[in-house]
Structure 1
Amino acid sequence: MTRSALLLSVALLPMAASAHAEDLFPATLAGHAVIPAFTLLAPPADAPQDAWISGKFTGAARNAQPMTVMGDTGASHGKRATGISLPFIGQPFQGMSGFAMNRAEDGAIYALTDNGFGTKGNSPDALLFFHRLLPDFAAGTVAIQDTIYLHDPDMKVPFRIAYEGTEARYLTGADFDPESIQINGDTVWIGEEFGPYLLSATLDGRITGVYPTMMGETVLKSPDSQGISALSVAGTDWTVPRSGGFEGMALQPGTGLLWGMLEKPLLGADGKPEGNFLQVLAFDPAAAAWTGQSFKFALAEGATAIGDFNFIDATRALVIERDNGEGDPSLKCAGDPAPDCFPAPAMLKRIVLIDTATVDADGFVRRIGHIDLMDIADPQGLNRLPTVANRDLTGKMTFPFFTIEDVMLVDETHIMVANDNNLPYSSGRQLDAAADNEFILLSVPELLAAK
């Protein structure tokens, strides 16, 4: 098929809405591998000395004494201690915020780590990087083959960065919040949330371009975008909610287009969400420009955000859909938060299959069906980690994490899913232990065959 024909096949012109109801498909655990939560990395030799102690600004004042402040799950999750203290000596591996569709020549997967400790203000000493990882599901381990640090020696970033005065100019979580990654030839593309921007880089992490987000003639901005201040007006000066940028970005086979999916609904002129749906925008890497093509992804009732987005063929794609909960719902707190319960447990964690070739008259893409990550069959007992629960989980695995941010196709019957553990702030499997970095291999032939 020619490039023009492929573009026409997903031109996203209004189509009649499908009457086909969304199906629930089974998922069976085929493998489980883990990178321990407390995994630290040495900064590059030419990085500033400041990068050797990370997390110094996560409290009310600078704290440079390693391992002196216990991490906790935050107010919305009961402020339960996670057993790991800040600041860290070195850089935390953290959790992963995106898988690339294409693999490295040796079969390793490209995975992205996000901005560090969650906000622009608390992450100026958290370096930004991506990895080449090789999961071994038989052994239950994941080899970190290489970590590639993002740097800007050519000054492509149009604003002042945290390590501005250094020669290598490594990027930090005060500069960008990277959430999605794709590899297209020898170029790395990263979707981020502060702008939101698209970043281009070489395979060794050298920034080659920074592209503001265009929706028609409008530049989309978040409250963390450059030039936004306390006097800026939501819905007017900025319309992308905080942490609402490109959580997912998929590379479409054949066309080479990048489709960036915002994590949260845009704000209308009144400063309120424009609806319970997410905008998905097309960018042409060859032209280095937004194409003007778009579609909408309708969130299911109870969902608050997405976690990742990857194509499995020319038009069908997988989307992680989630709520903001963590922990097994059988341990939901009956009253006030307490150490032995989850005040906001995980209720909706899904992998949704969509068909981008079918978009209705209002611009909504068709949802074909989904699997439930809270209800994974495990007949072989492949789950390697216990889950605290007030119910029998024999023969079953759940994935009860706040942020699940990685999904990719493995073969015609399997997908791989991983979590972002928000070190040291998330604790989903246990009440009092930081979440590990988990990779699960799922057998989902019915989902992948669905049309």
Structure 2
Amino acid sequence: MRLFTLMTSSLALLAAPALAEDVFPAKLAGHAFLPAASFVDAPADAPKDAAVSGKFTGKTRNETPESVEGDVGATYGGHKTGLSLPFHGQPVQGMSGFAMNRAEDGSWYVLTDNGFGSKINSPDALLTFHRMQPDFQTGEVTRAETIFLRDPDHKLPFRIAYEGTDSRYLTGADFDPESLQFLNGEVWIGDEFGPYIIRATADGKVISVHQTMLEGEALQGPDTPGVTVPAQPGVDFRVQRSGGYEGMALQPGSNLLWAMLEKPLLAATGEPEGDFLRVMTFDTGKADWTGDSYRFKLAEGAKAIGDFNFIDETRALVIERDNGEGDAAKACADGATDLSACYPMPARVKNIVLVDTASIDAEGYIRRIGHINLLDIADPDGKALEGMKPEAGNFTFPFFTIEDVARVDDTHIMVANDNNLPFSGGREIGKAANNEFLLLDVSELLAAK
């Protein structure tokens, strides 16, 4: 049943622990997936090192392909995932952003993240984006093209992993790309390490790199080139690790990029400055920051965001999430010591929020209109694919990182997950998560003002 509650932008309610807002229904209209074990060969002119990826995900170098099985980590139960590192080729995984504008053939521009989760373990993971086309009739996702990012003109202001090569392909040791937009034949990418905005040609050549500015200050994180240890959080850097641009929306008409940090900035104390995220605007025409910034209020229990895309000139969709993974129906009992068949930290908060950027209050908060719950998706037509349906109840999307959302038409949106290959499960214990794509009928949400 739809819940009707009062939405207000008053400062008093914004200071409250949770925001009251409409919760809209979502119905599964289509389900497709790209298998977790999907790989592409490195380009012929890439260093030989890139032929096998994931060699540095352990404590020491490992050059024996498929010799160490991935697992989800102790926090999530230590479940194995069935896929072993290193990999032959480059994984087509970690769907970390949809571009709002599609390619001429109707396919979607989809971004792959930095590789294996950190700057240290991803120096042999090439940075890519793709053109993909999910078929919600067959349940398959076709990869039409993969584009590799490179810096042949030495535009980056720091040394890259493949510095001494002619091709100068970029890797996960250079950037952590998490958001993508396509405009006038060029791509704009939001990075987490800098955080930076990267401008590149449609075939992946870097044109320029832009450092983040907020209120006249250059924002830095612990992985920003030039930040050295020991460093004091909140003083030497304010952006949390893995807290850069997870969402970067392209505003129709203005062509402004609204770049949203994944996590709250750090205050001088080293603690988060609040339960809100900073949003800065970047003028693509001038290739510079506007100087304007705003705030996105996180719902109670949410820790971060996953993607951010406009649906018209002022309204946009934001994915907000907790750090949980797995269906709460299979949560581990309190005090359980055997975690082999349960989720110790299941998914609890996985929302897609509709916001209105034309409605900003006196403190800079963007108005939240309402949201859908990705853990409560109706499936009356049986669209969920076999092997991915819950044992009981509505369909859920219980992944740790859900990082892709875009409007498809007046009534539908598309959502996909970042499967953190091979370190995330979520759908089935003991099995690496696939790259799932959902087509959702959310007509009431898209019509809301």
- TM-score tier, shorter chain, comes to over 0.9
Give, in angstroms, the shift of residue 21 of structure 1: 4.1
Give, in angstroms, the shift of residue 336 of structure 1: 3.2
Mapped contact 1:73–1:427 kept (Cα < 8 A): yes
* SS at structure 2 position matched to 1:105: coil
Q: Distance in 2 between matches of 1:386 and 1:292?
A: 49
Determine if the alignment matches structure 1 residue 424 to structure 2 residue 422.
yes
Q: Distance in 1 between matches of 2:416 and 2:276?
A: 24
Residue of structure 2 in register with 1:127 after alignment: 126
Q: Distance in 1 between matches of 2:182 and 2:253?
A: 14
Q: Distance in 2 between matches of 1:41 and 1:336?
A: 40
Residue of structure 2 in register with 1:434 after alignment: 432
Residue of structure 1 in register with 2:215 after alignment: 216
Q: Distance in 2 between matches of 1:327 and 1:231?
A: 36
Mapped contact 1:222–1:242 kept (Cα < 8 A): yes
Determine if the alignment matches structure 1 residue 339 to structure 2 residue 337.
no
Q: Between Structure 1 and Structure 2, how many residues are aligned?
A: 434
Residue of structure 1 in register with 2:197 after alignment: 198
Mapped contact 1:328–1:400 kept (Cα < 8 A): yes
**Structure 1 residues 181, 62: closer, same or farther in 2, change over 3 A?**
same
Residue of structure 2 in register with 1:405 after alignment: 403
Letter in structure 2 aligned against 1:392: A
Q: Render the CA deviation track for 1:232-276: whole Å, top value 9, x for unaligned.
A: 211111000000000000000010100000000000011110000
Q: TM-score, normalised by structure 1?
A: 0.94
Mapped contact 1:279–1:296 kept (Cα < 8 A): yes
| 1:47-86 equivalences in 2 (<5 Å) | 47-86=46-85
Letter in structure 2 aligned against 1:360: D
Residue of structure 2 in register with 1:384 after alignment: 385
Q: Distance in 1 between matches of 2:331 and 2:261?
A: 30
Q: Distance in 1 between matches of 2:10 and 2:269?
A: 31
Give, in angstroms, the shift of residue 386 of structure 1: 2.8
Give, in angstroms, the shift of residue 18 of structure 1: 11
Determine if the alignment matches structure 1 residue 182 to structure 2 residue 181.
yes
**Structure 1 residues 385, 279: closer, same or farther in 2, change over 3 A?**
farther
Give, in angstroms, the shift of residue 16 of structure 1: 6.0
* SS at structure 2 position matched to 1:376: coil
Q: Render the CA deviation track for 1:295-342: whole Å, top value 9, x for unaligned.
A: 100000100000000000010000001011111101111123511110
Give, in angstroms, the shift of residue 75 of structure 1: 1.7
**Structure 1 residues 310, 53: closer, same or farther in 2, change over 3 A?**
same
Residue of structure 1 in register with 2:40 after alignment: 41
Q: Distance in 2 between matches of 1:336 and 1:243?
A: 30
* SS at structure 1 position matched to 2:146: strand
Letter in structure 1 aligned against 2:76: H
Letter in structure 1 aligned against 2:392: D
**Structure 1 residues 75, 447: closer, same or farther in 2, change over 3 A?**
same
Give, in angstroms, the shift of residue 392 of structure 1: 1.5
Q: Render the CA deviation track for 1:415-447: whole Å, top value 9, x for unaligned.
A: 000000000000011011000000000000000
Q: Distance in 1 between matches of 2:328 and 2:33?
A: 23
Residue of structure 2 in register with 1:11 after alignment: none
Residue of structure 2 in register with 1:324 after alignment: 323
Letter in structure 2 aligned against 1:297: F
Q: Distance in 1 between matches of 2:416 and 2:283?
A: 28
Q: Distance in 1 between matches of 2:250 and 2:109?
A: 14
Deviates more, 1:421-430 or 1:335-344: 335-344
Mapped contact 1:412–1:445 kept (Cα < 8 A): yes
Q: Render the CA deviation track for 1:62-113: whole Å, top value 9, x for unaligned.
A: 0000000000001211111000000000000112000000000111100000
Q: Distance in 2 between matches of 1:387 and 1:93?
A: 20
Residue of structure 1 in register with 2:448 after alignment: 450
Q: Render the CA deviation track for 1:164-194: whole Å, top value 9, x for unaligned.
A: 1111100000000000000111110000000
Runs (5+) with no aligned partner, structure 2: 1-8, 14-18
Letter in structure 2 aligned against 1:409: R
Q: Distance in 2 between matches of 1:17 and 1:111?
A: 37
Mapped contact 1:96–1:113 kept (Cα < 8 A): yes
Runs (5+) with no aligned partner, structure 1: 1-14
Determine if the alignment matches structure 1 residue 360 to structure 2 residue 361.
yes
Mapped contact 1:325–1:346 kept (Cα < 8 A): yes
Q: Distance in 2 between matches of 1:357 and 1:323?
A: 27
Q: Distance in 1 between matches of 2:202 and 2:46?
A: 19
Q: Distance in 1 between matches of 2:146 and 2:279?
A: 29
Q: Distance in 2 between matches of 1:164 and 1:240?
A: 26
Give, in angstroms, the shift of residue 17 of structure 1: 5.9
Q: Render the CA deviation track for 1:211-234: whole Å, top value 9, x for unaligned.
A: 000002100000000111112211
Mapped contact 1:317–1:355 kept (Cα < 8 A): yes
**Structure 1 residues 427, 231: closer, same or farther in 2, change over 3 A?**
same
Deviates more, 1:133-142 or 1:145-154: 133-142
Mapped contact 2:65–2:88 kept (Cα < 8 A): yes
Give, in angstroms, the shift of residue 397 of structure 1: 1.1
| 1:143-292 equivalences in 2 (<5 Å) | 143-292=142-291
Mapped contact 1:388–1:430 kept (Cα < 8 A): no
Superposition RMSD on alpha carbons, in Å? 1.3
* SS at structure 2 position matched to 1:76: helix
Mapped contact 1:21–1:368 kept (Cα < 8 A): no
Mapped contact 1:37–1:94 kept (Cα < 8 A): yes
Letter in structure 1 aligned against 2:197: L
Letter in structure 2 aligned against 1:224: D
Q: Distance in 1 between matches of 2:49 and 2:144?
A: 25
Q: Distance in 1 between matches of 2:424 and 2:442?
A: 27
Q: TM-score, normalised by structure 2?
A: 0.95
Mapped contact 1:328–1:388 kept (Cα < 8 A): no
